[in-house]
Chains A and B, each alone.
Chain A
Amino acid sequence: MRPEVRDRLARMHPDERALLRPLVETTRTFYIFAAILGVVVLWGLFAYYQQMRYGLGRTGMNRPAYWGIYIISFVFFIGISHAGTLISAILRVCKAEWRRSITRSAELITVLVIGFGAIQPVFDLGRPDRLLNIFFHAHLTSPLLWDVLSIGLYFMSCTIYLYVPLLPDLALIRDSGIKAPWLYRILAGGYQDTPKQRAVLERVIGALSVAVIPIAISVHTIIGWIFAMTLRPMWHSTIFGPYFVMGAIYSGIAAILVAMVVLRRVYRLEQYFKDIHFDYLGQMLLLFSLLWLYFTFAEYLTAFYGAEPAVMRTFWAKVSGPFAVPFWAMVAGCFVIPFGLMARKATRTPGGTLVAGIAVVIGMWLERYNIVVPTSVNPRWELESIGHYLPSWVELSILAASFAGFILLYMVATKFVPIVSIWEIKEGREHSAQEVSRRVSEYLPDTPVLTTVGDSK
């Protein structure tokens, strides 16, 4: 760190000092990690090059296993993306004050992961060169088209929703001059953080947080519908829309928790990500683990009761057949582990939530696997032979590269924007304590006028 930067930093507010430090101070470990992730990404690019040049034959997909890892990852990543926006928007709308230090990291996840989610179906295309046909020859009855539109909208609104609340912090950095002034001059625009601007800003954020919720819900509903709109056994189900949304939020919360534990450790943010945050988010995780169980149970029970032969073939393939291992691993990851850990206050600690979060992330990936693959390989017509699917090295490489790329981008992003919203923290310190007490007092009945007992006569 250059001395003048250190000086400037030293002169700043303690919140600012703590939260801006990562922007100007980078450790060797960071570079090592970044290099490793970079190599994985390059390897993934090479794998994709192979696939592009020779065809999708380089994957393990076949007939009837037409979809594989890419579609699984697609659903998974877009699911994770519900982390941010939805959580932070809901918390903002509900005026949950404890949100202040966690919204930023969540919103960042969202924006960065959407890209990785949205690119997965492109990896999956036989003819990526004809991608634009989706617009030239748009066919409105296709859920895939709805999906392209809703993801596009979602991506845009999330980006705005990330950017607008960033403005005061960007202006702060610009004004402090601790980093690449030219960049922040562009990024922060003319924002000066005048009270008037601040008021407009808050109104915009309020509106955005309301708007983003239905968009986010639509996105994953439609992804669910992509499956549900076919006649394939165990895809063709009305529960898929809400089920996917619920699952998305669930995996999103899990992803935030994991990110928070890591950030807290590497950037020493114990003061911002407090145990109470983990406790609260842990409770949400608990709630969603129960919701997950409920939805899953409802899905399988309806399938089981219908007992359609075609459906039952897939059903048993999952429950006790060749897919039993991923199925029960999913149950463990999505319910048993998180429920077990989150049900007790003693384990709703950063450590406990980390374990639960990882379990849920893996469990939710497996859930998508269990949706895509078993149905794919069990065609509806019983005389059609049962397929098999093993992902190839190309698919696994691209999967690894997608994870690596996301983590890498997230790491890099923490070097450019404060991972905790500085102005919101400050605002919290300055105004919300009073605001909250005012609000609480508004909830309460007005103080009754004292009367003496005898008066009632």
Chain B
Amino acid sequence: MPATGEGNGKPGLTRREFVWTMGAAAAAYGLQDLPDENGIFWSPEPKVELGWAPGLEEFRTSTCLICPSRCGIRGRLVDGRLVRVVGNQLHPLSRGGVCPRGIAGLQMVYHPERISGPMVAEGARGGGNWRGVSRDEALTLLTERLRASRTVAGPESLALVAGYCAGSMQALWHQFLRSYGSPNYVADDYADGTDCVMGLMHGIRRRPAYDLEQASLVLSFGAPLFESWWSPLQAYVAFGGSDEDGGQRPRFIQVDARFSRTAARTQEWVGVKPGTHSVLALGIAYVLIRNDLHDADFLSRHVAGFEDAVDGAGATTEGYRSLVLRNYRTEEVSAVTGVPVERITALARAFGSSPAPVAVCGADVTQAPNGLQAGMAVHSLNLLLGRVNRPGGVIFGKDPPLAPLASPVLDDAARAGLTSQPVAGPGPAFGTGDVASRFARAVAAGDGRVENLLLYYADPLASSVHPEAWRAALARIPFVVSFSPYLDETTRHADLVLPDLVSFERWQDAPSPASYPYPVWGVAQPLVEPQVDGIATGDAVLAVASRLGGSVAQSLAYPSFEELLKERAKGLFEIRRGMLFASEFEGRHHRQMEERGWWLREHDEFEEFWEDLVDRGGWTDLFHDFTDPAGIAQTPDGLIDLMPEELTRALVANGLDRTPYIGLTGDDAVPPADFPLRLMPYRVSTLASGTLSLERWLAEVPGLFPETLWYPWVEVHPDTVRTLGLEEDTMVWISSSRGRMRARLKVFPGTAPGNVCVPYRLQHPDGELANPLQLLDGPTDPLTGLAPWFTTFVRLDQVGAVD
């Protein structure tokens, strides 16, 4: 109380309020010493000790690295803390949109379970005892180990398993392994078989891009465009259309064996029996050809194999047309796929008469026992309508024209090492197949002498289809190094952990996903100071290289990964096309200029260019040359091949005696008596591969329908639930011949009776793994070597009843 008396108290404070405040203060004072930090007082206010005052606000541009989409983001910083992720409106692909994972990426930075610094396993590996070491010690340890092995066991004793790796990080690892002398770059990445399809038919081994934004009709065969596709944001932006209402929006039709979120939200869903997407595609082809809806001109100029061919000896080989007309009559297709005859005809007519349709091939088409041919069948629809290298069609994207890394310097040891056989051994007839599993099996079988294994963005014990092979392989490898920022399943079995900085803390480049038609080079710059004592793996590799000295150091003479990126960006500065990220309007303008062969220089100095590039988020070139024949096919004869001879040879070589496009009768496997249900694993949009499974915001929204939180679940048709005598919302075991996992039962009428849909979800809240991929037991496609994800049969049992 001021000495001058009550009348002179603070103006706003009445006497009653004053007494009240004093009373409350006294009470608070009296109670504050109570032993419990929760406070005995009615309502302890939340403990927020950040000096809760508006601070200095700053926005910094970067790129989201959480999935292949690589969307543009901006980080909102207050007093140096990253408090929010918002979209970058200038990014050509994402246009300011961000998916839930991108927003929740914030929680990856401040994740309570991040590894706090480099550490070394003490005692038995996997025993859980760790000793913290300094970054320098860790780098030295790794360098010494690599140096010693290189001379004793040879450079091929080093192997890298790289899960999530594109752009310059991939280039850096390749350069490192090459100059060290190891051929064992083991990619554990996103092979889905579509690149094999394109390689076979177009002679271009590249995953196709789809120009969704300019398409008028998107017919997706099982590609979960709105969930876990290469770039859900690309699909979202196309689906949203332009802001002006009434503006053109493509129509989306989803062919899917599951009532997925994509199926639910596209304008039309065609529910098919599992594994029959390709049959439906050929059924549509039948109607197109029958009704002369196909583009005969395109077919005759650019496509081989459509008509029957007569060879020198006069023997005819049936072409695509005859095969389809003979084998895919609508009634038969209807019986196989379960789609009514009229629906097939209507679909084909809609597709054939739309001005700019495109057929998108999803991984569930290709990851099947006859996946390669199934993929070709779906893609053939694009060929029938000449939808290749056209606006709104299939396009072969180009990589951004970066300056290459300095060419590697190889010493004798390196040269010798590089000639040795890669441990993973030869792949399948087409594509690379599941290299990681081949590698693990080979190591487990004692092939090669892998002394040192580096794990970059890979957690095979949790995510691989063959964790047992990995367990055996790890037991045989003396020294395992993990770069993971989190103590994931495989990192627990490492000898040395050099935690990477998470994506919002480090420099990285981010080329756009293969599904996007235009080259985009996004840059991720640190949004916050590192929250732990980690080291960006790019910098770690450069540091180890420089310490190793010799050819390795000479090949990687960059002071930091940031500098490396900057060097590469010089390629963009000099190329005289493209532009830095800009508004939609400016982008259109730029495209029109380039169409006329003009290009405006924006920057004179590289430094300015670089600064501006980082500030706006990246570089892109929205011009695509639709007249370039190399954009259609790069086969020797320049024609797209509907009936590649290579395929026929491979079929015969594998004892498969199948003609292309024949034998796609769908998956008519009869479920074994003790495993009556078909397992359909899928990826929910909020939870990608393992990385994000622990984030709390996402744990509260993973399943929108059936609505469920936190726990892994399994979707079952109500009738199936009833016949099995199970109860909704209880825990069940899902068992296949290979193993079992626990999940909560959800009744969902959108699931076909007899199927069970199980999302990949790495963990239960208590940490127990729940990965349906580890139940898979079907036969692999011998042509692509890809594991079939949709041919496993399972059984459901109430948890408790069978323990």
Contact = CB atoms under 8 A, between A and B. Distances in A.
Are chains A and B touching in the complex at the 8 Å CB cutoff?
yes
Contacts of A127: 42-43
B42 A128 contact: yes
B602 interface: no
B309 interface: no
A356 to B, nearest CB: 41
Interface string B702-729: 0000010000000000000000000000
B38 A129 contact: no
Nearest to A129: B42
B40 interface: yes
A108 B42 CA distance: 32
Contacts of A53: 36, 38-40
A54 interface: yes
Interface in B13-51: 36, 38-43
Contacts of B41: 129
B707 A129 contact: no
Contacts of A129: 41-43
A129 B45 CA distance: 12
B97 to A, nearest CB: 25
Interface string A11-41: 0000000000000000000000000000000
Nearest to B42: A129
Contacts of B38: 53-54
B37 to A, nearest CB: 12
A437 interface: no
Nearest to B36: A53
A303 interface: no
A385 B43 contact: no
B705 to A, nearest CB: 11
Most buried by B among A52, A53, A54, A385: A53
A385 B42 contact: no
A53 B36 CA distance: 10
Nearest to A52: B42
Interface string A375-390: 0000000000100000
Contacts of A52: 42
User: A interface, by DSSP: helix, strand, loop or mixed?
Assistant: helix
A128 B39 CA distance: 15
A127 B43 CA distance: 7
B611 to A, nearest CB: 49
A385 B707 contact: yes
B29 to A, nearest CB: 15
Interface string B131-160: 000000000000000000000000000000
Nearest to A54: B38
A128 B43 CA distance: 9
Contacts of A385: 707
Nearest to B707: A385
A53 B43 CA distance: 7
A54 B36 CA distance: 11
Contacts of A54: 38
Interface string A124-136: 0001110000000
Interface string B624-651: 0000000000000000000000000000
A129 B23 CA distance: 13
Interface in A106-161: 127-129
B767 to A, nearest CB: 24
Interface string A49-84: 000111000000000000000000000000000000
B781 to A, nearest CB: 42
Nearest to B38: A53
Nearest to B17: A136
B194 to A, nearest CB: 38
Contacts of B707: 385
A63 to B, nearest CB: 13
Contacts of B43: 127, 129
Interface in A375-415: 385
Nearest to B706: A385
B272 to A, nearest CB: 29
B427 to A, nearest CB: 49
Contacts of B40: 53
B132 to A, nearest CB: 36
Nearest to A127: B43
A54 B40 CA distance: 9
A129 B28 CA distance: 12
A52 B31 CA distance: 14
A234 to B, nearest CB: 25
A53 B42 CA distance: 6
B41 to A, nearest CB: 8
A385 B708 CA distance: 11
B747 to A, nearest CB: 13
A361 B333 CA distance: 69
Nearest to B44: A53
Contacts of B42: 52, 127-129
A41 to B, nearest CB: 20
B744 to A, nearest CB: 15
A54 B37 CA distance: 11
A385 B709 CA distance: 13
B17 to A, nearest CB: 9
A48 to B, nearest CB: 11
A50 to B, nearest CB: 11
A52 B41 CA distance: 8
A61 B38 CA distance: 22
A300 B499 CA distance: 66
A385 B707 CA distance: 9
Contacts of B39: 53
B186 to A, nearest CB: 46
Most buried by B among A54, A127, A129, A385: A129
Most buried by A among B39, B40, B41, B42: B42
Interface string A81-104: 000000000000000000000000
A224 B77 CA distance: 51
A128 B42 CA distance: 7
Nearest to B16: A136
A52 B43 CA distance: 8
B220 to A, nearest CB: 27
A54 to B, nearest CB: 7
A113 B574 CA distance: 88
A129 B41 CA distance: 9
A22 to B, nearest CB: 40
Interface in B321-353: none
A439 to B, nearest CB: 55
Nearest to B27: A129
A155 to B, nearest CB: 24
A129 B42 CA distance: 6
A385 B703 CA distance: 14
Interface in A241-276: none
Nearest to A385: B707
A128 B38 CA distance: 17
A72 to B, nearest CB: 23
Most buried by A among B38, B41, B43: B43
A248 to B, nearest CB: 31
A129 B39 CA distance: 14
A370 B674 CA distance: 46
A233 to B, nearest CB: 22
A127 B42 CA distance: 7
A146 B38 CA distance: 35
B631 to A, nearest CB: 47
Contacts of B36: 53
B452 to A, nearest CB: 51
Interface of B: 36, 38-43, 707
13 contacts: A52-B42, A53-B36, A53-B38, A53-B39, A53-B40, A54-B38, A127-B42, A127-B43, A128-B42, A129-B41, A129-B42, A129-B43, A385-B707
CB-CB nearest 10 A-B residue pairs: A129-B42, A129-B43, A127-B43, A52-B42, A53-B40, A128-B42, A53-B38, A385-B707, A127-B42, A54-B38
Given A127-B42, A129-B41, 10 more contacts: A53-B36, A53-B38, A53-B39, A53-B40, A54-B38, A127-B43, A128-B42, A129-B42, A129-B43, A385-B707
